[in-house]
Chains A and B, each alone.
Chain A
Amino acid sequence: MIDYRSLSSLTIAAHELKSPLALLRQLALSLETGDLLEVERREVARHMKLVSERALRLTTDLTKVQRLEDGLFELEPINPQQLCEEVVWELSPLYKACGRELVLAPRQRPLLAIANKDLLRRILLNFADNALYYADETSPVELSVSSRAQGETIRLGIRDYGPALSIDTWRSLHDTALRPEQLYARPGGSGLGLVIACQFAQAMNGSVGATRHRDGATFHVDIHASRQMSLL
């Protein structure tokens, strides 16, 4: 096993990008052989597009992590339910290609959060991308928005249903990915995306967390609620 704690962030990023690049190469080679049916060629091309977009999301996130120090990310009131709708729309083709489904829990009353829309969107994309690895085919991954702490905080959660992680893996993930002092470390087999999400949340004065269930996990981000709604 690779000990990620001893690697630099650059090496971790390189290792993380190896998987999508290797898959792109495999798909390109299968196109090159020319023995695919037209319908298969279209599917391979579609998969290549989805894998490229997934890799590009990671490279964009890494660029943004570097820019966090500049403090150029403004916070503004946003509608988290609407943002979740956009994330579901953006990732649905990838989920569909993998035989999975991403849904948004309906909500009657709108909430307003104070956040940077782009950073929050990227956190949700990271969580949803990670859930794709863990989700069972039989149950959709569910995004939800809820109010916490007497309306002071808004929680956006992504619940997946799949095989429960072992306690050891869970502890490793929780201790390493979610502890701010070890942001550039990660346990083997988990996503660099979770570590990036933690940094993005902190840049918005928020936090990320996770809950292990018997049949899956929920990853969430907590951000401050906007008080504008109380003025209405």
Chain B
Amino acid sequence: MNIVVVEDDVLLGHHFERTLKKAGYNVASSPHALGAIRLIDETKPAVIVLDMLLTGSTAMPLLHELQSHDDLARIPVVMVTSMAADLSLETLKPYGVRYVLDKTTMHPDDLVAAIRSVSL
């Protein structure tokens, strides 16, 4: 199963990639939305792992872009952010976000569990 990770902190992106690869997923990462679009087109991921604050922008333009294409709009998004306390899953659901993880309290296994739950 292919996963695309969009995380602008390269070292955290490496960590997510290592965690997901150990769980048996194929992972491609991008630090910014532009690169993510290319990876999503190339790999047709089952799930997108997305940070809220990206380099030079928020995740919202990318979420809008995904929602504007029928095939991409169906890909579930797991949002991993340190702003989880300020975000509401209900507000983000129309943008394809199915799970919000808090970077400051999550365990590495929580990411795998979230991906399993949204890709069922």
Q: Do A and B come from one complex?
A: yes
**A7 interface hit (Cβ, 8 Å):** no
The docked-state distance in angstroms from the alpha carbon of A33 to that of B22 is: 12
Give Cα A27 to B83, complex, Å: 19
Give the size range of B's interface with the partner: 20 to 34
Q: B31: nearest residue on chain A (CB-CB)?
A: A133
Q: Which residues of B contact A2 (CB under 8 A)?
A: 83, 86
Q: Does B19 lie at the interface of the complex (its beta carbon under 8 Å from any beta carbon of A)? A: yes
CB contact between A133 and one of B15, B55, B58 (< 8 Å): that residue: B55
Q: Mark B97-110, 1 if CB is under 8 A from A, else 0.
A: 00000011011110
Chain A CB within 8 A of B2 CB = no
Choose among B9, B15, B53, B83 the residue that contacts A30 (Cβ–Cβ < 8 A): B15
- CB pair B56–A166 under 8 Å, yes or no, is yes
Is the beta-carbon distance between A98 and B11 smaller than 8 angstroms? yes
> Is B120 at the interface (CB under 8 A from chain A)?
no
Known: A18-B104, A19-B9. A188 touches B58 (CB 8 A): yes
The dominant DSSP class at the B interface is mixed
Cβ < 8 Å to B, chain A residues 1-39: 1-2, 18-19, 21-23, 25-27, 29-30, 33, 35
When chains A and B are docked, how far (Å) is the Cα of A117 from the Cα of B32? 34
> In the complex, A162→B22 CA distance in Å?
30
In this assembly, does A40 line the interface, its C-beta being within 8 Å of a C-beta of chain B? yes
A189 and B12 within 8 A (CB)? no
Closest beta carbon of chain B to A124's beta carbon, Å: 20
Is B56 a contact of A169 with CB atoms below 8 Å? yes
Residues of chain A with a CB closer than 8 A to B62's CB: none
List residues 12-34 of chain B with CB under 8 A from any CB of chain A: 12, 14-15, 18-19, 22, 31-32, 34
Smallest CB gap from B16: residue in A: A26
A43 to chain B, nearest CB (A): 8
Q: Does B118 contact A (CB under 8 A)?
A: no
- Chain A CB within 8 A of B89 CB: no
A22-B103, A26-B103, A133-B8 known; A166 and B57 CB under 8 Å?
yes
Return chain B residues, CB-CB under 8 Å to A166.
Answer: 56-57
> Would you give the shortest CB distance from B19 to chain A, in whole angstroms?
7
Residue from B9, B32, B57, B58 within 8 A of A23 (CB atoms): B9
Tell me the chain A residues, 88-107 only, with Cβ under 8 Å from chain B: 97-100
Closest chain-A Cβ to B103's Cβ sits at a distance in Å of 4
Between A and B, 27 residue pairs with Cβ closer than 8 Å are A18-B104, A19-B9, A19-B82, A22-B12, A22-B103, A22-B104, A23-B11, A23-B15, A26-B15, A26-B106, A29-B107, A29-B108, A30-B18, A33-B109, A47-B11, A47-B15, A98-B10, A99-B10, A100-B10, A133-B8, A133-B31, A133-B55, A163-B55, A163-B56, A166-B56, A188-B58, A189-B55
B interface vs A, CB < 8 Å? 8-12, 14-15, 18-19, 22, 31-32, 34-35, 53-58, 82-83, 86, 103-104, 106-109
